Amino acid sequence: SFISVSTASFAAVTASAPSGFTSTSEDDFMFFVNGVIAEHDALTVQQSGSKFYMLVNNNSVGYDLESGDEIVAFGKFNS
């Protein structure tokens, strides 16, 4: 679901790293917006309760997010 033209949110139990693992950052994820990979310098991620937020720097991406945009995220945790 979209909060604004620069924020996408995903329902998630947690995006935080388990105890003993390095903290999660945008470098632990790959985001694809409409099939095109989004560069890490254009993104910030944060966890807020049961929501996982992807905050987008519209100037870096080159456009505003729209409700019809498709976002796919892949992630991992480092030990």
Residue type, 38: A
Q: How far is Cα 64 from Cα 69, in angstroms, rounded to an integer?
A: 10
Q: What is the pTM of this model?
A: 0.63
Q: Which residues pair with 74 in a beta bridge?
A: 30
CB 52 within 8 A of CB 45: yes
**Residue 13 gets which letter from DSSP?**
S
For the stretch 6-59, pLDDT in tens is 777 666 666 666 777 776 667 778 888 888 888 878 878 777 777 777 788 777
